[in-house]
Structure 1
Amino acid sequence: MKIHAELNELLNEFYPGQKIPSERVLSERFGVARMTLRHTIESFILEGRLERRHGSGTFISNQCYSLSARCRSFSSEMASRGLEPTNKLLISKIISADKVCASKLRVPLNSKMLKFSRLRLGDEIPMAYQTTIIPVSYIGNIEDHELEGALEDMLQIKFGIFITTSQTEISGDFVEQKVSKLLEITTLTPCLVKETIDMDLHSRNIMWNKTWYNAERFKIKFDAACNVRELKNPTAS
């Protein structure tokens, strides 16, 4: 169809993540009925060229990024893809460790913990929502602005804590409405949930992170080694 070719040519002028004009504006520009234009847009959505964001409009689809299952920070993940990683601190507070938290971080029940949430971005595009819990006994006082940088760097420089190993679990889930708005998705958009326990040189559980990634934007990458089994020569005596 002519409208498909014309819209395709227009979309080539936009960059990934950019919002395209409204259906009303586009239908007037191309001189077609809004229903015709809507069907054309839907075809581009099915092709993966466009994506709808609830309450925001229609955007050029972002690239799908690989999410390593290995111990790797968000900043490293973004930098390896040529994206500028930034963080927006949403909330930070002191809590008492409940049974789950105490078990995860191997601390006494009711220990003081620093809990904070951040929106993690790549080139200013929302990539993930993350909650982090750290025992206060390991870090003392931290200013809010320090939580907007790379945590591993801050822990090394300020407290001499070096993260050496990480236990990771990856599952699928949905997010509540307030988080979906931050990630610019709907509550029906599936998310990859990466839960990690970071440990230091002394085998202490330093951080418990839980990160929600838009599953339409990320895929999991596993690196696996195969065991080579020596086969006996069936013709040998």
Structure 2
Amino acid sequence: MLSAVNTPADVPPATDSPQLIDARSPVPKYYQLREILLDLIERELTVDAPVPSERELAARYGLSRMTARQAIEHLVSEGKLYRVQGRGTFVARPKIDMPLRLTSFSEDMRARGMVPGARDLGRRSIDAPAAVARELGVEAGAPLYVVERLRTADGVPMALERSHLPARLVPGLLDQPLSDRSLYQLLAQEYGLLLDRGDQVIEAGIADRSDAELLALAPGSAVLRLQRRSWAGSVPVEYVVSTYRADRYQLRASLDIDPPGGTRT
């Protein structure tokens, strides 16, 4: 618990037993306020609830408005809060753990109790660029189908998916409806291609203007870029490049430590 400084008597505390700012602590004041706000979000506030204004926070904790603004801006950049111009700052939805396993977006969202959706952005046939051909194990210039979709959860834009598939494996794919099923379901049901393994690379990125508009982000916002190859048995079927909103996703993994000598019991 942080030790106390004087709090203005006319400003109500945020909680029955509020944490206060320790002016003598080596921890920066804005970071102490950030921790206080995180605790408030965790214990008391619901999604979309307003947080106190910079003026209120400055008065309550004996800080400058610039310090209060810095704490709020950190939480906005971390996706914990969001701003609405002219209205204030509000609690954001908790981030979703990105699955580190082979699963469709639709299956993942349904497992979380959310309603998956997709907006078809375009489908086309292309000659395989050398880099994509290498990922799919086909000759450069081989015919590929590209399916581009905006994925949503409970109506909120979450990710852009650009899937590349060898045309010889999925004839007629460009004419197949995808509104009521995932691409993985379609591949299994229509083509007998059950995807059972894959590999994935995840990198940090910045949304360009086009992607930002589709994802309801400001241009230059942080995103997560995924490149994934998926196989059905020994056959490479899909190479997908996805752009996920970094303000809605986080990575989580279980880590084990090998015992001395490298033998696990």
Distance 1:186 1:19, change over 3 A: farther
**TM-score if structure 1 supplies the norm length?**
0.74
Alignment of 1:1-237 (within 5 A): 16=47, 46-48=74-76, 50-52=81-83, 60-144=91-175, 146-148=177-179, 149-201=181-233, 203-229=234-260
Which 4+ stretches in 1 moved above 6 angstroms? 39-43
Give the percent of matched residue pairs that are identical in Structure 1 and Structure 2.
20
Q: Distance in 2 between matches of 1:190 and 1:157?
A: 36
Distance 1:145 1:139, change over 3 A: closer
**What are the Cα deviations for residues 60-96 of structure 1, in whole angstroms up to 9, with x where unaligned?**
5121111122223222322232211111110110000
Q: Distance in 1 between matches of 2:167 and 2:221?
A: 35
Matched residue type, 2:136: L
Matched residue type, 1:125: V
Q: Distance in 2 between matches of 1:4 and 1:74?
A: 43
Q: Distance in 1 between matches of 2:217 and 2:101?
A: 26
Worse-superposed segment, 43-52 or 107-116: 43-52
Distance 1:59 1:182, change over 3 A: farther
Distance 1:107 1:230, change over 3 A: closer
* Larger RCO, structure (CA 8 Å, separation 6 or more): 1
Q: Distance in 1 between matches of 2:130 and 2:116?
A: 33
Q: Distance in 1 between matches of 2:98 and 2:82?
A: 20
Deviation at residue 187 of structure 1 after TM alignment: 2.2
Q: Distance in 2 between matches of 1:126 and 1:58?
A: 20
Secondary structure of the residue aligned to 1:102 is helix
Distance 1:109 1:3, change over 3 A: farther
Secondary structure of the residue aligned to 2:196 is strand
Alignment RMSD (CA, Å): 3.5
Q: Is the 2:209–2:220 contact (alpha carbons within 8 Å) kept by the matching residues of 1? A: no
Q: Distance in 1 between matches of 2:72 and 2:176?
A: 41
Secondary structure of the residue aligned to 2:178 is helix
Q: Is the 1:53–1:184 contact (alpha carbons within 8 Å) kept by the matching residues of 2? A: no
Deviation at residue 147 of structure 1 after TM alignment: 3.3
1:27 equivalent in structure 2: none
Q: How many residues align?
A: 210
Deviation at residue 226 of structure 1 after TM alignment: 3.2
**TM-score if structure 2 supplies the norm length?**
0.67
Secondary structure of the residue aligned to 1:79 is helix
Q: Distance in 2 between matches of 1:222 and 1:41?
A: 33
Deviation at residue 50 of structure 1 after TM alignment: 3.2
Distance 1:161 1:45, change over 3 A: same
Matched residue type, 1:119: L
